[in-house]
Structure 1
Amino acid sequence: MYKKTTVILTLLFLLSIASPFTTSIKAEEISYEAESVILLEAETGQVLYKSNADEPMAPASLTKIMTLLLGLEALEEGELDLEDKVRISENAQISFDGTQSVMGFDRVGQEVKLEDIITGIAVVSANDGCIALAEHMKGSEDRFVRAMNEKAEEIGLEDTSFANSHGLDDPDQYMSARDVAKLSKYAVNNTPKILELESKDEFTFNDITQPNRNLMLPEKSYGYDGVDGLKTGRTADAGFSFVGTALRDDMRLIAVVMKAPDEPTRFESARNMFDYGFDNFDKLNLYESGEIVGDAPVTQGTDHFVPLATKEKLAVVTDKEDPSDLDQKLEYDEDIKAPVEQGEKLGELHIYDGDESIGSVAVEAAETIEELGFFGKILRGISNFFSNLWESIIDSITGLF
């Protein structure tokens, strides 16, 4: 349990208020044509716009964000190496016939460098590369799919189920737009190499050069300033889908468009959401990791109070044209007893815009507080007794007047 201590420290920020001559679109003016959309800020996770965002839908190649995430995490943890040779199985040897997005492996038994497999999945959305990676990592695609679903549960994806590693239509393969956005946020923040790969203009394998299918990359036909990812998707069930991410002025937005009717529409829908987000919102960095935000009383400790520090950086997103006052409320453990170890979680700091909580961060002990020894506790008890007695006398005297 935490005792709510309202610092009602009002955080009044004079934001970069939009010029009266600036024209920006409003939420009701966002133009999109898709069955499901969502826009969120990537650091805070704040949702800036959504429509039908929780309906499970066929994800098509948006699935590959999870496939890449597992591969990149394994690389970071040393379980894989980019120089590894991946043996191509019969399952992964998909013909280059135009019906699927593939790298185009030559033959069963071919050995391909893992770096090429990862890049092929990221840049040209290679279905054959997904199967090859899955089998290389887990021995079979089925076991890899189990790992995908376990990771989805770990991240907190509530309307997601994976049945394959590439995203071809399957009744047991679905994601909501909100889950796609949450997965993308997780991948971008935890495996930044995904953006390095996804922003490559083209990929050449076996003397075949294929372009990146993300036409919102700045040099492409639907180019948008700041876009550096993430993934397109198209199947009969999924229609035309897209998750894009763009970075401007230290604010990264993620836009998800699911089941648009055609390619231009999915990109124009994402463009309109990006315009809305960048035109109307600012990201405020309120606290850095380790910053002192208050203190909490400690009983039987060598100090009466322990300073509280943010465990992580805390940022929030606010409206440019209506920069409301923000309140912060510090909640900490009701009964903190020494000893207290530095780094021990003791509560949370919440940021409110009116009644709405728009951000929070764990707070921890900024220093160690040792427990009083036997004689120290006796002396503290005597001190507290006389202090309380004196306060009672003062209150009694004050009550006479």
Structure 2
Amino acid sequence: MTTTIQDRAQGAILGAFIGDALGLGPHWYYDLDELRADYGEWIDDFADPMPGRYHDGLKAGQLSQSGYILTMMIRSLNDCGGYDESDFCKRLDEELFPKLDGTPMSGPGGYTSQSIREIWRQRTIHGIDWQDTGSNADTTEAIERTLAIAVRYATRPSDLAAAIVSNTVLTQTDDTVLSMTVAFGAVLSALVRGRPFDASLSTELMELVKNGNLPFHAVTSDNLQPPKQGSPDPPRAGRFASPDALLTPSYMAAAARDADIRIEPAWKVSIVYGMPCAIYHQLPAAYYLAARFHNDFESAVLHAINGGGQNQARAILTGSLVGAQVGLSHIPKRFLRGLENYSELLELAERLANSIPSVHD
């Protein structure tokens, strides 16, 4: 499968949008019998939300608020030539917050997440400065927008980490959530660069830790071997106490390729790792599906959706990871054409992909 970095970058962005739109209808069904009753035994395309459920009133192929905010992030990156926090925050203040009322079932996309509701209250009701916003939400909302930063800085891991940390703390301040969010960005950027999603991926990520490009602390030598006798404790490259978030992807890849470990059907990954919204449920499932279906975008995102629960986030993350592996050119055209405003989304992705610095710049 021949792709370019621009093709993979666009695949990562459109893959996320497709995952978001696929989840719009069958979002947050924790009773799988109810999900099957409403949408049949196998969801294979965009679908309208059912009356009275999340995103009621929207139509198949439209984006949720996660997609809306991701679009805002890409516009900001494109217009500013990179991450400009003041510009992104201004867009939230002026373009998103006036459309919210602080309640869950409101705003663009028909639902506003916990972390966004919290910063809306802090900014709109209490007038708190942006440097003091953020909450203890343990969800993937920061990943769902900073994946665009990971694409933009795919060839600049140090800049990637700094920008993702800075943007994430606007809404989520827990260091474990931060470390897992940065780790996802590092994985996605490696895939955009053309790195295979295999059991040795974490070795490459750990090299970025040791050369100071990723802000994690590590004391082991190569391949997680003990440090040499008498070796000093290395200086911290950044704020995160351990590199474990960078190791998870390779364990998931190893499981996906181990003939003795089978999750069948693959949508049951949601039962193995959990259906809820928390980042520690979502990432292992997305990594597993992205490694198992590394060259099959359709299977990856549909298994993410058919697992129920917080399937929209699972599909956004999985769609981005697999889109980065197969490239835009190998995403089924029916998914692309089914997106509302597909041409506009493609143009945004093209501009972002074309702005990625050369590895040699």
Q: Same fold (TM over 0.5)?
A: no
**Bigger relative contact order (CA 8 A; separation at least 6):** 2
Calculate the TM-score normalised by the size of structure 2: 0.28
More helix by share: 2
Calculate the TM-score normalised by the size of structure 1: 0.26
